[in-house]
Amino acid sequence: MRTWIFLFLALSFLLFSCRQPCPENGAPQEEWLQLFNGKNLDGWTPKIQGYPAGENFANTFRVEGGLLKISYDDYPDGFGNRFGFLFYEKPFSYYRLRATYRFVGEQAPGAPEWGRLNSGLMIHGQTPESMGLNQDFPISLGVELLGGTGKGKRPTGGLCTPGTYVEINGRLFTDHCRKSRARTYRGTQWVTVEVLVLGDSLIQHCVDGYGVLRYSKPQVGGEGLSGYDPKAKVDGTPLTGGTISVQSESHPIEFKSIELLNLEGCTDPKALNYKPYYVKPNGQACRY
């Protein structure tokens, strides 16, 4: 009973902190993993449509001035539907993912209009090695990163579902995209998006510290992608974890930081590596 009470309190703290500005004092010491080290692409693997995993065509993904940049200035003949992704080397299941980004410059020539000021963070995804050579999007959940185009509202932090379904308010959501409740961000201002991921029980998107969308029970299903290996797409398979990747969708974007707080670990207070914010117990990780 004590364990369940602890998990309930920990979950309540996480959800509250996602909806409200985080307190400066009094919070447990959090050990965030810097997925992007600010120096190079160590730990990341590119996969661009039409190219094998590991080939960074035309230096699409690069690090300059301490920023992770996605650029198209070296593309010889326009965008050409070269949708790409930069995958982190390790999968996760229970975590908080936080990224600070901004859009810059102009969209690559020859790209679809909907790709303007459009990018994303993909979670619960397949590995880059399991993608087809000409596959456009990984089977995954896409946390939308959007910029305002000057034509009405365009809230960031929404959801797109290439090859997946989710449940929203207890009902299966089969549309390809779902808007968030965030506001529209215009220009080159920095925006911080955070995602709370608890396996397949709850996923919540946050923008600048406030919850804007939540859903649960992600699973493989539907369309929204092409060029995939049918063996990698078994509809109905629950998605309890997977890869994290950054999207290249034709508009230049920069990331100041991409960091992750793992919520799975040792929950025994007697252990040397116990953390009070862990939600998912992993007894094998405990050190005494």
pLDDT tops 70 at residue 7: no
User: Of the candidates 148, 93, 88, 149, which has an alpha carbon nearest to the alpha carbon of residue 121?
Assistant: 88
| Model pTM score | 0.91
Contact 126, 242 (CB under 8 A): yes
**Alpha-carbon span 21 to 259, nearest angstrom:** 18
According to the model, what pLDDT value does residue 25 have?
Answer: 41
**Alpha-carbon span 224 to 237, nearest angstrom:** 17
Coil, helix or strand for 17?
helix
pLDDT tops 70 at residue 14: no
Residues 6+ apart with CB under 8 A from 104: 188, 252, 253, 254
β-partners of residue 96 are 196, 261
Residue indicated by tokens 């960091």: 259
Contact 276, 267 (CB under 8 A): no
According to the model, what pLDDT value does residue 26 have?
Answer: 42
What's the mean pLDDT in 206-217? 95
| Domain limits, the chain | 2-285
Q: For 88-137, what is each residue's pLDDT tens digit?
A: 999 999 999 999 999 999 999 999 999 999 999 999 999 999 999 999 99
β-partners of residue 166 are 173
Q: CA 60 → CA 54, 68, 96, 246, 259, distances in Å? A: 12, 10, 26, 12, 21
Burial letters 120-130, b for 16+ CB under 10 A, else e: bbbbbbbbbeb
Q: Chain centroid to CA 50: how far?
A: 23
CATH fourth-level superfamily of 2-285: Exo-inulinase; domain 1 (2.60.120.560)
pLDDT band at 6 (very low <50, low <70, confident <90, very high): very low
What's the mean pLDDT in 61-84? 97
Q: For 236-288, what is each residue's pLDDT tens digit?
A: 999 999 999 999 999 999 999 999 999 999 999 999 999 999 999 999 999 99
According to the model, what pLDDT value does residue 18 have?
Answer: 55
pLDDT band at 138 (very low <50, low <70, confident <90, very high): very high
pLDDT tops 90 at residue 12: no
Q: For 20-61, what is each residue's pLDDT tens digit?
A: 444 344 446 899 999 999 999 999 999 999 999 999 999 999
DSSP 211: E
